[in-house]
Structure 1
Amino acid sequence: MGPEPYGICLIIGAWNYPFLLTLSPLIGALAAGNCAIIKPSELASNSATIIAQMVERYLDPSCIRVVLGAVDQTQALLKGDINHVFYTGSTMVGKIVMRAAAEKMIPVVLECGGKCPVYIADDANIEVTAKRIAWGKGINCGQTCLAPDYILCSKTTESRLIPEIVQAWQSFYTDNPINSDSYCRIVNERHFERVNKLIDTTKVVYGGQTDAKQNYIAPTIMTNVNGTDKVMQEEIFGPLLPIITINNELEATEFVNSRPKPLALYIFTSNKSLAQKIINSTSSGSTCVNDVILQVAPQCLPFGGVGESGLGNYHGKYSFDTFSHKRSVAFSPTWSEFLVSKRNPPYDQKQIASLESLVQVRRNWLSLPRLSSWVWPFSASTTASGTKDDK
């Protein structure tokens, strides 16, 4: 078996981390020997322009090209002469990309998103838990595919958790985040309006302030939330943190399993057995225990979704594998014909019995008599030993 490049790979980047989510897959594509067409997101237009300039200046334009534009350009590229598609973005657009790839029968990787749940057990270290959730929700103003989307915890844990999250946010961004240099803004007016409509002011216990002129939405906590609320109908992708109260891990597991499979599942507990029980009872692209987003950092771990949160994975060696076709190659020398010909018709009962013996799984084949343990498996594999000289 040997890896070989697919050919021309189309990489469709995202706007929330425009350099990371566009150039990281490019590294894997080039390492695997492919050429690439990069389509940065038009919503991060300045970053897209810089990427185009950098690629033209530092990389080989005969192998790598950047196409700037919006929907029309993306659709034209999907109809073009490409051999692989790598897409990062929403599930809705991911389905469109997948349909286009299906028309060409080419492989596709979809790095989408979803609502990443956080289950907090009563035995969790609340101070540490709050700080880590506050960081994961506040970074990039919540515009991170792996950001904690909502919390599942008991009422007792909720009452302990909220003051700690508020304290953490205030230490990160001061009492007035709009003046903090460390606090971001929503990417544009359309997304500001979308996130703003998810705020139920009757359920806000902290934050909720907005400024449309700056696309600013303050870090916000909402309580008494249920699964039918508007904020629970789509990936938030903003600094809103809804809390749904449950009684135990069984109810949390049932709630998670009743919804589309998330890109990430977060569990906070001091009980490793409980964490493993929840992991075994659910499905998600990745899982992190007692932290958030951390699982994306180690290059030895694959990053990707499952179900509606994505298809395929990358990072490190997995990027190379994603952009490589695994080609099986077997060599069968002609001198072995006296063995290989045993498979040829016409068939009688004796020959059928011999063939059946060949295809049997021999788990302890090394302990069998020399003749049966070496000659017959050798023949069954048609002596596919990689011999290249056929004399």
Structure 2
Amino acid sequence: MASFTELVNGMKTTFRTGKTKSYEWRRQQLEGVLKLMDENREEIAAALNKDLHKPKLEAVVFEIDFCRNDLVDTMNNLKEWMKPEKVKKSLLNLMDSAYIKKEPYGVALVIGAWNYPIQLTILPLFGALAAGNCVLLKPSEVSWNTAQLLEKLVPKYLDNDCVKVVNGGVTETTALLKERYDYIFYTGNTFVGKIVMKAASEYLTPVTLELGGKSPVYVDKNCDYKAVANRLIWGKTCNAGQTCIAPDYVMCTKDVQEQLIQNMKTTLGEFFPDDPSQSESYGRMVNSRHFQRVKKMIDSNQDSIAIGGDTNEKDNYISPTILKDVKFTDSAMNEEIFGPVLPIVTVKDEDAAIEHIVSGEKPLAMYVFSNDKTVKDKFRNSTSSGGLVINDTMMHAGVMTLPFGGVGNSGMGAYHGKLTFDTFSHNRACLERELKMESLQSIRYPPYTEKNLSVIGWLSKKNPKKGGFFSFLGF
């Protein structure tokens, strides 16, 4: 097994020189990432197409421009984000300077994922650089064409002493995790997430884990079913369903199920007028292993197929497939589908759906379709998930001012926008005092007296605000 000790130690030595901490260096690296994206758009889109048969629109909107727009926002705000953050003080510290200094951790290991191999590696990469870290980047070997492209391009645009790319499979990743880092950012499945966390625990290394799980959907009777069908099918067919926040399964009543299926048939005919297998707007499973995994799921649920179910092993093609009357105990409900298969489970009402959700692991995303305020409030207040979207799917991930991340089994930590900068920054508590007026400090020195206690209590005591006209004064 390869050893990366020398590589990691070299990056640590570089970090200790302080070169990554200046605004100028950080800005230069961000400009390098921007040039990488702008000068290689066609080559990046081509690699994504080779790996996932990813349509150009999806490659540009969900990968290239998704990263680019967040990158530009980071560049525009970096100087402000780097400034010390002043905090409120009590009377005890009235003459002191108290602030939070955003500091880089050091050397960050970023392990990307194969389903969005540009977005899920480049976005944390430039966030870590913006925060002043050195970065060891490990793209997913599953999207091999994109991984090789990143290995070729990154050294051309970024500081080679501070940014390294390591390609390879399980052997290389295992060896990388034996090294000591200052931060680890992993995107992938929960099983590997536990391995990453276990490795991080050896050195108490902080981590962000962007994982997944079965993201549920509830469709209420009070809906425009055609609009629901459009938004569900879009969320399930983007990247051929290989999206961590794709709608994983639907819960609804028996009557709603029939309405949904009819509208989904119409939607699929509109989205892919000829045949999804012939459409340039529809992707493929990333490789044979994932194709076989999803095909097995379809084969074991043949009696439930309402729409689709077609496969082509030679092309890793699986048609958009809807399963009806699925039971919670069926094989399609045992694991995250991560493919273009959408099971529908019939339930009595929203309360039954909520009961199922809260009895399991907390999902990365949750989708509720309803025009009923009471129903929406129930899901908002009675469940927990990484993200909640009402009357759409996946769109929250594009709002860069919202945190993107899981909770519990679906992950820990969040990023996007300023949160990416914050994720890779240590909040250092700083207090600066003058060596003056020492007589005023005597109240905290021994010997302790009741008078000292009384004065300290008066200076530090806080009272709840009573509201009203004088509340802004603290009375």
Q: TM-score, normalised to structure 1's length?
A: 0.91
Does residue 313 of structure 2 align to residue 180 of structure 1? no
Q: Distance in 1 between matches of 2:444 and 2:465?
A: 24
Which stretch has the larger CA shift, 271-280 or 83-92?
Answer: 271-280
Q: Distance in 2 between matches of 1:167 and 1:110?
A: 38
1:364 deviation in Å?
5.8
Q: Distance in 1 between matches of 2:395 and 2:374?
A: 20
Aligned pair partner of 1:229 in 323, 330, 336? 330
1:7-43 residue CA offsets vs partner (Å, 9 max, x unmatched): 1111100000101110011111011111101000000
Structure with the bigger percentage of helix: 2
Aligned pair partner of 1:103 in 182, 202, 222? 202
1:31 alignment counterpart: 130
Aligned pair partner of 2:415 in 299, 308, 314? 314
Query: What does residue range 114-153 of structure 1 map to in structure 2 within 5 Å?
Result: 114-153=213-252
User: Structure 2: which amino acid aligns with 1:178?
Assistant: S
1:332 deviation in Å?
2.2
CA contact (8 A) 2:401 2:417 kept: yes
1:202 alignment counterpart: 303
CA contact (8 A) 2:239 2:282 kept: yes
1:51 alignment counterpart: 150
Q: Distance in 2 between matches of 1:59 and 1:218?
A: 41
1:239 deviation in Å?
0.8
1:117 deviation in Å?
0.5
SS of the residue corresponding to residue 97 of structure 1 reads helix
Any unmatched runs of 5+ in structure 1? 374-391
Q: Distance in 2 between matches of 1:244 and 1:364?
A: 49
- What RMSD over aligned residues (CA atoms) do the two structures have, in Å? 1.9
Q: Distance in 2 between matches of 1:144 and 1:50?
A: 22
Query: What does residue range 274-313 of structure 1 map to in structure 2 within 5 Å?
Result: 274-313=375-414
1:386 alignment counterpart: none
User: Structure 1: which amino acid aligns with 2:244?
Assistant: C
SS of the residue corresponding to residue 266 of structure 1 reads strand
SS of the residue corresponding to residue 336 of structure 2 reads coil
1:77 deviation in Å?
1.6
Does residue 176 of structure 2 align to residue 68 of structure 1? no
Does residue 106 of structure 2 align to residue 7 of structure 1? yes
User: Structure 2: which amino acid aligns with 1:361?
Assistant: K
Work out the percentage of aligned pairs sharing the same amino acid. 48
1:71-123 residue CA offsets vs partner (Å, 9 max, x unmatched): 11112222224210000000000010011111111110000011010111100
Q: Distance in 1 between matches of 2:179 and 2:379?
A: 44
User: Structure 1: which amino acid aligns with 2:405?
Assistant: G
Q: Distance in 2 between matches of 1:343 and 1:72?
A: 57
Q: TM-score, normalised to structure 2's length?
A: 0.75
1:276 deviation in Å?
2.4
Aligned pair partner of 1:324 in 419, 425, 440? 425
Aligned pair partner of 2:355 in 254, 266, 271? 254
User: Structure 1: which amino acid aligns with 2:181?
Assistant: I
SS of the residue corresponding to residue 114 of structure 2 reads coil
CA contact (8 A) 2:304 2:325 kept: yes
Aligned pair partner of 1:83 in 178, 182, 198? 182
Q: Distance in 2 between matches of 1:336 and 1:225?
A: 75
1:274 deviation in Å?
2.4
Aligned residues: 370
SS of the residue corresponding to residue 17 of structure 1 reads coil
User: Structure 2: which amino acid aligns with 1:306?
Assistant: V
SS of the residue corresponding to residue 184 of structure 1 reads coil
SS of the residue corresponding to residue 148 of structure 1 reads coil
1:237-283 residue CA offsets vs partner (Å, 9 max, x unmatched): 01111001112111111111111100000011112342122111100
SS of the residue corresponding to residue 160 of structure 1 reads helix
Q: Distance in 1 between matches of 2:465 and 2:412?
A: 38
1:265-322 residue CA offsets vs partner (Å, 9 max, x unmatched): 0011112342122111100000111110000001111111111111100000000000
Q: Distance in 1 between matches of 2:386 and 2:228?
A: 21
1:347 deviation in Å?
2.2
1:197 deviation in Å?
1.6
User: Structure 2: which amino acid aligns with 1:278?
Assistant: F
1:42-67 residue CA offsets vs partner (Å, 9 max, x unmatched): 00110001111110111111111100
1:367 deviation in Å?
7.4
Q: Distance in 2 between matches of 1:110 and 1:33?
A: 20
Q: Distance in 2 between matches of 1:345 and 1:165?
A: 77
1:175 deviation in Å?
4.9
Q: Distance in 2 between matches of 1:81 and 1:109?
A: 15
Distance 1:287 1:229, change over 3 A: same
1:244 alignment counterpart: 345
Aligned pair partner of 1:350 in 451, 459, 469? 451
Aligned pair partner of 1:165 in 257, 260, 264? 264
SS of the residue corresponding to residue 436 of structure 2 reads helix
Any unmatched runs of 5+ in structure 2? 1-99
Q: Distance in 2 between matches of 1:41 and 1:340?
A: 57
Does residue 316 of structure 2 align to residue 215 of structure 1? yes
Q: Distance in 1 between matches of 2:352 and 2:464?
A: 43
